Structure 1
Amino acid sequence: MDIETLTAYNQQAAAYARDWREQDAPSDMYALLKQYFSPGLTVDIGCGAGRDTAWLLDNGFQAIGVDVSQGLLDEARAAYPGITFQQASLPALDGLERGSYQNVLCETVIMHLDPASISDAVSTLIALLVPGGTLYLSWRVTEQASQRDKSGRLYSAFERELVTVPANGPCDVVFEEDVISASSGKRTQRLIFRKKAA
């Protein structure tokens, strides 16, 4: 994770958590998860304050949340004390067992990585899946050059191929769209991958 981005999330965790709670729910994403995810162990990578992890549990998925920011994890644990949250960082995601998850959710996280780390991050996300498992991956689209917002969070500009090339071997793309997010109002690229059966 980009250090300035992590610092922003840690220092302003309560404010970000409040903003996410007050946003409209990402109903368009939730509809896709209902359509493409299957029952089973599910991990929300970059869970932030835990809103989407809680939704997964409420909708029948055996879900845990993972984030690199201790501040956001503290917010998530306070809001959802019955849910398991743990700390890990892309691209390595140390501590998460490969080949163990039916579903992986990674919503608007990878744009906070240096572009040089994105392919490795996607490979790790795919490695978490069981054969036949599903990865939902999205990112905020930044045109031309990478930039930072007023809090210092990195929004990397990168080609779609950085995401799809690592997935070409073990996965098929089963859904793709470039859309304005119903929750954030920002341009978002969404891809859903299905890991090939062994």
Structure 2
Amino acid sequence: MDRQTLAVYDTGAAAFAKDWHEQPAPSDLHALVQRFFRPRGRTADIGCGSGREVAHLAESGFDAIGYDASAALLQEARRRYPELRFERALLPELTGLPGGAFDNVLCETVIMQLPREQIAPAVRRMTELLKSDGILYVSWRVTTGNDLRDAAGRLYTAFDSELVRGALGGMSLLLDDEPVSLSSGKTIHRIVARKAH
């Protein structure tokens, strides 16, 4: 994980959480979850932030667990959703998460805040979390040209989508597109893939 980005989230967790929860609901993401995820399956939200999507997953019948690198964002998540489960884990290692334990893995607009050399290992690690026939959804905000940092200091790594596809290890691509997010208004790249039997 990029240390400066993590520090930004730890310092400004309350403000980030307020902003995320005031954004329009990501109905496009929710539609893909309903379309592709294994129903009612055990689901990991990697980079769950303040827990908005974990709550939606739980309300939709999934056995959902949220993981994030920021202890302060996890505090926000636990405050908002005390009945749900949130744990600390850092990409790319995700130390302590069991392999082959999840039906679905969600990683929404997180990996672009990793240094480039950590992106492929992070994607490979997320595929390891899946059971046979499990579904991975991974998306990232698209940055063209050079890496950049926003006004807060968060890293946005510029990389080609082939970096992610190449790390899927033979998983079947179910979706590979580049829309504008209905929630953030930013261009994102989305990949949904199924792990082989």
Match of 2:86 in 1: 85
TM-score by length of 1: 0.98
Partner of 2:57: 56
What SS does the aligned partner of 1:180 have? coil
CA contact (8 A) 2:124 2:169 kept: no
Q: Deviation of residue 160 (structure 1)?
A: 1.0
Q: 1:168 offset after TM fit, Å? A: 3.8
Deviation readout 1:77-135 (Å, 9 max, x if unpaired):
00000001000000000010010000000000000000111010000000000000000
Query: Which structure 1 segments of 5+ residues have no match?
Result: none
Q: What letter is aligned with 1:90? A: L
Residue of structure 1 in register with 2:75 after alignment: 74
Identity among equivalent positions (%) equals 49
Q: In angstroms, what is the RMSD of aligned CA positions?
A: 0.6
Aligned twin of 1:107: 108
Aligned AA for 1:75?
E
Gaps of 5+ in 2: none
User: Amino acid of the residue matched to residue 11 of structure 1?
Assistant: T
The CA distance in 2 between the partners of 1:175 and 1:157, in whole Å, is 21
Letter in 2 for 1:120: P
Aligned to 1:196: 196
Q: Distance in 2 between matches of 1:48 and 1:192?
A: 21
Output the CA distance in 1 between the equivalents of 2:128 and 2:74.
24
Give the Cα–Cα distance (whole angstroms) in 2 for the partners of residues 181 and 104 of structure 1: 19
* Moved >4 Å (runs of 4+): none
Aligned residue number for residue 124 of structure 2 = 123
User: Residue deviations 1:156-195, cap 9 Å, x none?
Assistant: 00111110111142x1111111000000000000000100
Q: Counterpart of 2:84 in structure 1: which amino acid?
A: I
- 1:159 is the counterpart of 2:157: no
Cα distance in 2 for partners of 1:37, 1:161 equals 23
**Which residue of structure 1 lines up, in the alignment, with residue 13 of structure 2?**
13
C-alpha separation between the residues in 1 aligned to 2:137 and 2:95?
20
